[in-house]
Amino acid sequence: MENIYYENNKVLIAGTVDSELTFSHMIYGEKFYLFRLKVPRLSDNFDFINITISERFFPYLRPAEGDLVEIHGQFRSYNNFSDQGSRLVLTVFVKSIDYVTSVDELQNPNRIFLNGFVCKPPIYRTTPFKREISDILLAVNRSYNKSDYIPCIAWGRNAKFAESLDVGENLKIWGRIQSREYRKKIGEDEYETKVAFEVSVSKLEFSDGSCEADF
């Protein structure tokens, strides 16, 4: 059953380990840790993606700052509850990890495929420069009756297509994971810089029930 759901949500990502490992949580005696991965973009900028890894990988590979690694996994979400309320946290959950000699040699170091369901009406808008954008929230099924809720952003023709989507429609999406800084107002003249994570869509279509990741 786990393999079936793995095909719904596949990530291939590579980059430089950009932080130390920090303890995240424990489930049934298994410890999980977080680190940040610096992933190159074609534009010579970078995305900084949160990674969750089990201690069971450490006997043969324990990520350290500066390491170049390639990860196969899933983009997962969970709610983090605090005094400020609940917020959606997104992280790549490691299924396999290996060292690489050069990220530049990889054809595409940031790829994601999702097969899920539209779970709220898409939000369509245009930028001041008349660029079309649609925000899509996709629910992707996982084993043990869980789902991951993945924010996706579509552009141009894909944005126009997404505008008419109904809640419950089954979509396949290809793209990349991106990090994006934004400023949130927390006082009359005070702002806080935050980071949002989302899937930048390169291709989307209605699902026929099959899963067709190209990696």
Tell me if 94 sits within 8 A of 130, measured CB to CB: no
CA-based radius of gyration for the chain? 18
Tell which CATH classification among 3.40.50.300, 2.40.50.140, 3.40.50.20, 3.10.105.10 matches the domain 112-206: 2.40.50.140
Report domain extents, the chain. 2-107, 112-206
Q: How many CB atoms lie within 10 A of CB 143?
A: 11
CATH of domain 2-107: 2.40.50.140
- One-letter identity of residue 37: L
Structure tokens at 6: 């793995």
- Give the SS3 label for residue 129: coil
Closest CA to 69 of 122, 119, 19: 19
| Residues forming beta bridges with residue 98, ordered by sequence position | 70
In the numeric block, which tokens belong to residue 190?
A: 């005070």
73 three-state secondary structure: strand
* pLDDT for 159: 96
Same fold, 2-107 and 112-206: yes
Cβ pair 120, 167 in contact under 8 A: yes
Handedness of CA 13, 195, 204, 142 (dihedral sign): positive
Round to whole Å and give the CA distance between 215 and 193. 34
Q: pLDDT tens digits for the chain (215 residues)? A: 456 667 999 999 999 999 999 999 999 999 999 999 999 998 889 999 999 999 999 999 999 999 999 999 999 998 875 555 567 889 999 999 999 998 887 789 999 999 999 999 999 999 888 899 999 999 999 988 899 999 999 999 999 999 999 999 999 999 999 998 887 777 777 878 888 899 999 999 999 877 777 77
Query: Residue type for 16, please?
Result: T
